[in-house]
Structure 1
Amino acid sequence: MAAPTHLLHSTALNHTLLPFLRRHSPLFRRAASFTSFSLRRKLPVRPILAQARRISSAAVAKDELVATPSDLQFKGPLEVIKYPDPILRAKNKRIDSFDESLKKLADEMFDVMYITDGIGLSAPQVGINVQLMVFNPAGVRGEGEEIVLVNPQIKRFSKKIVPFEEGCLSFPKIYADVMRPDSLKVDAQDIKGARFQINLTGLLARVFQHEYDHLQGVLFFERMSDEVLDTIRAQLQELEKEYEERTGLASPEKIEAREIRKKGVGFGKS
C-alpha cells in the first residue's frame, strides 16, 4: 500500500511539516481522527505482534496450491509490478517452507517498500505469486515495527465500514476513497511458521486488508463506488496504455469494460 505524501502515514512527513498539516489540512485531520496510533512517528508502546495470540495449526483447503522451493527463488533487485500486469491477478500459492529463501524474500520486499515510500507490500506486487505480505505503519526503516504475515486469513471483521483515501504502489500517483471494515481478526503465520491470531484496527486494519486483497487477486479500485472510480478512470486507462507500449501486448484488462458494481458485494468478495 502506498503512503500518500498528504496523509498521516507518509514517509515524507517530517517533524517540521506535521504542525502545519495538523492546522491546515482537512485530509490530515481526517486521517488523524481515523487512525489509532500516535501522530508522531514513535515506536508503539505495545508492539503489534506482542499482542498476538499463538494458536495451533489450522486445516489447509484441499484445493489450495502449495508453493515449491522454486516459487520462492528470485533474482534481485525486485521491482513493483504495475497494473494491469496479469501477475497481479494470478493465483497465489500457500507457503509451507519456512527457510532462508522465505526470509530473503521478505527482507527484499521491505527494501522495495521503503524505497518506494510504501507502508505495505504483497508478494504478487513484486512478481512472486505466494501468500506473503509485509508492512510497517511508520514507513521508515528503523522506526515502527516490521510485520511479516504468511498465509493470512480473515477470521472476523467488524460491521462498521469506513472510508479512507488509499494509494497503491502498483498504481503510481493514484489515490481514492475505499470503504473497508474498521477492524478485523486475523489468523496468520510468522516468518518461522508459527501460527497466531491478532486483532487489527484503524490504519493497521486498512493496510492489512489492502495487501490481503492483493493475495486474493483483488485490486483496490474494485472496492470503490462507481462515482469514486470515475474520478480515477482516466489514470487507469493511462496505465493500460503504458503497459501496451512497454510490452507490445494488448492490455489484459480494460477499466472501460468493467461491469457495473453489483449491490451487496461483501468484504472479501470480488
Structure 2
Amino acid sequence: MASLLPSHPLLHHHHGGSALAAIPTRCFRHSSAFHLTLSSTNRTKADFSAAAAQNNIASPADFEFEAPLKVLKYPDPKLRIKNKRIVTFDDDLKKLVHEMFDVMYKTDGIGLSAPQVGINVQLMVFNPVGERGEGEEIVLVNPRVSKYSKNRTLFNEGCLSFPGINADVKRPESVKIDARDLKGTWFSVSLSGLPARIFQHEFDHLQGILFFERMTGEVLDSIRGQLQALEMKYEEMTGLPSPEKIESRSRRNVASAFRKL
C-alpha cells in the first residue's frame, strides 16, 4: 500500500506494550520455539514440503527467493493464491522481512504483504511514516481479526501492485487483531487511524482480495481504464492472456464485507 498521507497515530497495545516496538534488523533474534516438527530425521526437503502443503503450512521452499525482491503488478496470478501459515521462525523469515522492508522503502510504500513480492505466506510489514529510520517498523505474522469497528471512513488509497492508481475505499476506522511476532509469540493489538487502514489493505492481500474490490461501482468505473491498461501490459510482457479481466469477471461482493478470521 502506498500513496497515503504520512502521519503517525498512536498504536494501542494489549498483552505486552512492546509488541509493536521498532524492529531494526540488528535486533532480530533467532527463535526455534515454533518449528514444524517431522517425526523422521530421514525425511527429505520434498517430504517436508509435501506435508506442509497438505496442511497449508509454509515450508522452507516457500521462503526461497532472489534479492532484490520485486513488487508484482496486477493481474499477476500470485496476488490471488491462497497464502500459507508460517510455523517456522528462523533466519529465513528474518531475511524475508528485511528484504520486504527494503523494497517497500525503495518504492515509496508504507505497507507491503508477502504475496506482493511473490512469496505466498501470511506475512506483512508496514511503517506508517514510510521513511527508513523513522516511525515504527511493524511485522505481523499469521494475523487475524477479532473485531472491526462499526464506524467506517472513506480514504484515498493507492497500492504498489497498482502503480499510478488511487481511489476512494471505505473501511472500518479501527480494528483489533491477533498476530505472531518474529519470535513466534502471539499478541493482540488495537489499531486506529492510518495504521488500521494500512493493516486492512495488507490483510486483504493475504486473503487474495485486491483494493478495487472494496470500491463502489462508481469509483471502480473511474479507474476501469487504468486496470485494463495493466492487464494489457501484463499480456505484452508475458505473452500470456491476462488471468483476469475487469470487464469479464464477476465482481466479488466484498465492498462491505469485513469478516473476522
- Same structural fold, with TM-score higher than 0.5 when normalized by the shorter chain: yes
CA 1:80 to 1:261, structure 2 compared with 1: closer, same or farther past 3 Å?
A: closer
Alignment of 1:17-96 (within 5 A): 37=9, 48=11, 51-54=13-16, 65-96=56-87
* Counterpart contact for 1:226–1:261, Cα < 8 Å: no
Deviation at 1:101, TM superposition (A): 0.3
Question: 2:179 — aligned with what?
Answer: 188
In the aligned structure 2, how far is the partner of 1:264 from the partner of 1:191?
32
CA 1:73 to 1:181, structure 2 compared with 1: closer, same or farther past 3 Å?
A: same
Q: Does 1:216 align with 2:207?
A: yes
CA 1:142 to 1:234, structure 2 compared with 1: closer, same or farther past 3 Å?
A: same
Question: 2:144 — aligned with what?
Answer: 153
Question: 2:118 — aligned with what?
Answer: 127
CA 1:72 to 1:262, structure 2 compared with 1: closer, same or farther past 3 Å?
A: closer
Deviation at 1:74, TM superposition (A): 1.2
Task: Select the structure with the greater relative contact order (CA < 8 A; seq sep ≥ 6).
Answer: 2
Structure 2 stretches lacking a partner, 5+ long: 20-33, 35-53
Residue from 5, 9, 15 that aligns with 1:8: 5
In the aligned structure 2, how far is the partner of 1:163 from the partner of 1:64?
37
* Counterpart contact for 2:63–2:119, Cα < 8 Å: yes
Aligned residues: 225
SS at 1:70 equivalent? helix
TM-score by length of 2: 0.81
Cα deviations by residue, 1:55-92 (Å, 9 ceiling, x for unpaired): 9x9xxxxx851000111121111000000000000010
Cα deviations by residue, 1:178-208 (Å, 9 ceiling, x for unpaired): 0110001000000110110000001110000
| Cα root mean square deviation, aligned | 2.1
Deviation at 1:262, TM superposition (A): 4.5
Question: 1:251 — aligned with what?
Answer: 242
Question: 1:204 — aligned with what?
Answer: 195
In the aligned structure 1, how far is the partner of 2:8 from the partner of 2:130?
16
Structure 1 ranges of 4+ moved more than 6 A: none
